[in-house]
Structure 1
Amino acid sequence: MIEFINVEKTYPNGTVALENINLKIEQGEFVAVIGLSGAGKSTLIRCINRMHDITSGQLVVDGVDVGKLKGKQIRRFRRRIGMIFQSFNLVTRTSVINNVLVSFVPDLPLWRKSLGIFTVEQKIKALDALDKVGILDKAYIRVDQLSGGQQQRVALARTLAQNPDIILADEPIASLDPVTSKLVMDDFKKVNKEMNISVIMNIHHVEVALEYADRIIGVRKGEIVFDGEAALVTQELLDEIYGGKVDEVKSSLEESVAYV
Structure 2
Amino acid sequence: MIEFINVDKVYKNNVKALDNINISINQGEFVAIIGLSGAGKSTLLRCINRMHEITSGQLMVNDTNVSKLKGKEVRTFRRKIGMIFQSFNLVTRTTVLNNVLVSFVPDLSLFRKWTGIFAYEHKVKALSALDKVGILDKAFVRVDQLSGGQQQRVALARTLAQNPDIILADEPIASLDPITSKQVMEDFKIINRDMNITVLMNIHHVEVALEYADRIIGVREGKVVYDGKASEVTEAVLNHIYQGNQEQELEKAKGDAVYA
Normalising to structure 2: TM-score of the pair? Answer: 0.97
One-letter amino acid of the counterpart of residue 38, structure 1: G
- Cα gap change, 1:252 to 1:37, in 2 (>3 Å): closer
- In the TM superposition, residue 212 of structure 1 has moved relative to its aligned partner by 0.2
Check conservation: 2:5, 2:59, Cα contact below 8 A. yes
Identity, % of aligned positions: 72
- Cα gap change, 1:122 to 1:256, in 2 (>3 Å): closer
Q: Which residue of the partner structure matches residue 246 of structure 1?
A: 246
Q: Which residue of the partner structure matches residue 208 of structure 1?
A: 208
- In the TM superposition, residue 254 of structure 1 has moved relative to its aligned partner by 6.7
Instruction: Write the distance in 2 (CA, Å) between the matches of 1:85 and 1:254.
Output: 18
Check conservation: 1:19, 1:223, Cα contact below 8 A. yes
Q: Which residue of the partner structure matches residue 127 of structure 2?
A: 127
Instruction: Write the distance in 2 (CA, Å) between the matches of 1:65 and 1:158.
Output: 26
Instruction: Write the distance in 2 (CA, Å) between the matches of 1:153 and 1:113.
Output: 25
Instruction: Write the distance in 1 (CA, Å) between the matches of 2:79 and 2:171.
Output: 21
- In the TM superposition, residue 247 of structure 1 has moved relative to its aligned partner by 2.2
User: 39-48 or 248-257, which moves further after superposition?
Assistant: 248-257
One-letter amino acid of the counterpart of residue 111, structure 1: F
1:187-220 per-position Cα deviation (integer Å, ceiling 9, x unaligned) = 0000000000000000000000000000000000
- In the TM superposition, residue 246 of structure 1 has moved relative to its aligned partner by 1.1
For the residue of structure 2 that corresponds to 1:14, the secondary structure is coil
Check conservation: 1:177, 1:256, Cα contact below 8 A. no
**Number of corresponding residues:** 259
Gaps of 5+ in 2: none
One-letter amino acid of the counterpart of residue 51, structure 2: M
Check conservation: 2:149, 2:184, Cα contact below 8 A. yes
One-letter amino acid of the counterpart of residue 120, structure 1: Y
For the residue of structure 2 that corresponds to 1:20, the secondary structure is strand
- In the TM superposition, residue 64 of structure 1 has moved relative to its aligned partner by 0.3
Correspondences of 1:159-198 after superposition (within 5 Å): 159-198=159-198
Gaps of 5+ in 1: none
One-letter amino acid of the counterpart of residue 58, structure 1: Q
Runs of 4+ residues over 3 Å off in structure 1: 250-257
Q: Which residue of the partner structure matches residue 42 of structure 2?
A: 42
1:219 aligns with 2:219: yes
User: 21-30 or 246-255, which moves further after superposition?
Assistant: 246-255
1:111-163 per-position Cα deviation (integer Å, ceiling 9, x unaligned) = 00000010000000000000000000000000000000000000000000000
For the residue of structure 2 that corresponds to 1:131, the secondary structure is helix
